[in-house]
Amino acid sequence: MRVLALVPGGIGDQILFFPTLDDLKQHYSQVEVDVLVEPRAKSAYRVCQSVNQALTFDFKDRNSLADWSNLLGNIRERQYDAVLSLGQGWPLGLLLWLTGIPTRIGYGGSGGQLFLTHPVPLKTEQYAAHMYHDLLQGLGITTPCPELKISVPKKDIQWAEGEQKRLGLLDGASNYILIHGGSSQRAGVKDSQTIYPAEHWKQIIQTLQQRQSDLAIIALQGPEDGWVAELVQTYPALKVAAPEDAGKLAAMIAGANLMLCTDSAAMHLAVAVQTYAIALFGPTAPEKLLPKDPRFVGIKAPSGQISDIPPTQILEQILSG
């Protein structure tokens, strides 16, 4: 059986979809699964072994009729038996119908339901990984959603070990805290809903250094994370790591004592490698993006602005744990 999964969104959305892919492979050992994702999210499949090929298409771009025709032709050539779609709406539903794929599974209650052969109820109040897993009901799979897991390539683990040595960590032992403060690259502009201010991080770092001077604090830096440079100006001894992809990021997170982060792909990777994490949320409810597990704590800003979370509240959670 050949299955195509349409998974729009960023890297975090792909990671949350991994349990669905893993369970599909568990039930159908001979199934071949491809995913169709946005170019920005393809790298997530570096840490997923349940996918044969990750195809890309920028759904948010101003695609011409020729672009859509080429996509349709590529899908039809692969002769899939079933398709799972996280996307909704009648344009996407029409695309699925035009592919000729006999079994078309997606969420009911939207304009695209008319084009589906197996609509599934959309239950948005639950953990997103469980919501995605509900799509397997269209294939008759009703088992509970498995835990989120990933497979980190050996060379990425070796990279993380090298980074730990470069940063002066003792024999690569788990004696460090990671900080991932959110990236402005997501929206192209500063966003008070997703980026935690550098001034707040400074207060947290200062208090932790006073309480436990031997504990290393490492800031994870992305391509456009200016807040990290601001922290280094205040704390020249602050250690900085810049993983280039999801595999290296996951390997670095796996070795940490604690992950302090915002709602991001890094948060989902912490869940996957089971590193204790404290995640900061703006308008989103933590229970929709974190599993019910005491190892993963979500702190939500009542105002919906992540910058309004006081550093003292985060420090209280860290020190009480």
User: What pLDDT, in 10s, does the model give residues 35-57?
Assistant: 999 999 999 999 999 999 999 99
Helix (H, G, I), strand (E, B) or coil at 53: strand
Nearest to 135 by CA among 151, 116, 150: 116
User: What pLDDT score was predicted for residue 6?
Assistant: 96
**The two structure tokens encoding residue 13:** 């959305």
Helix (H, G, I), strand (E, B) or coil at 296: strand
Nearest to 175 by CA among 216, 137, 141: 216
User: What pLDDT score was predicted for residue 99?
Assistant: 95
The pTM of the whole model exceeds 0.85? yes
Instruction: Find the helix or strand (DSSP H, E) in which 32 lies.
Output: strand 32-37
Alpha helices per DSSP H over 212-264? 226-234, 246-254
Q: How far apart are CA 110 and CA 113, in angstroms?
A: 6
User: What pLDDT, in 10s, does the model give residues 51-108?
Assistant: 999 999 998 888 888 999 999 999 999 999 999 999 888 888 899 999 999 999 999 9
- In this predicted model, which residue has the larger pLDDT, 63 or 203? 203
Contact 194, 187 (CB under 8 A): yes
Domains of the chain: 2-139 (3.40.50.2000), 154-320 (3.40.50.2000)
User: What pLDDT score was predicted for residue 206?
Assistant: 92
The dihedral of CA 217, 222, 223, 226: what is its sign?
A: negative
**How far from the centroid of its chain's Cα atoms is residue 35's Cα?**
16
**The two structure tokens encoding residue 219:** 């800031």
- End-to-end CA, the chain: 47
Residue 320 has pLDDT above 90, yes or no: no
Q: How far apart are CA 162 and CA 252, in angstroms?
A: 10
